[in-house]
């Protein structure tokens, strides 16, 4: 693994400010370059009431933005030529 200390410094500088400004109790951050995770860290608390820390492996519910994530994933598959938005859904889901 190459030395990505500058990435670490930048993330560890920016994330706490972002969390403070937007009142975010906890988050997990990963930086990926060419398919390799070069940095991952948890910041703050995943459960502030129980004082449980966020880790790189913390799972977060995405609630009402699920549709946005699905749409992005579908468009990535379209870009890769693996499906078409003109195809009927039944072609992929029985």
Contact 47, 58 (CB under 8 A): no
Contact 9, 39 (CB under 8 A): no
Domain boundaries, the chain: 1-59, 61-94
pLDDT surpassing 70 at residue 57: yes
What's the pLDDT score for residue 1? 43
pLDDT band at 2; cut points 50, 70, 90:
low
What number is the average pLDDT over the span 20-33? 96
Cα separation, 13 vs 5, whole angstroms: 12
């Amino acid at each position: 693994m190459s030395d990505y200390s500058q990435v670490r410094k930048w993330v560890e500088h920016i994330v706490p400010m972002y969390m403070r400004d937007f009142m975010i109790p906890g988050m997990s951050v990963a930086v990926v370059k060419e398919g390799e995770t070069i940095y991952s860290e948890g910041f703050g608390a995943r459960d502030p009431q129980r004082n449980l820390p966020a880790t790189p492996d913390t799972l977060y519910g995405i609630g009402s933005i699920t549709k946005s994530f699905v749409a992005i994933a579908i468009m990535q598959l379209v870009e890769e030529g693996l499906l078409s938005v003109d195809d009927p859904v039944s072609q992929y889901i029985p």
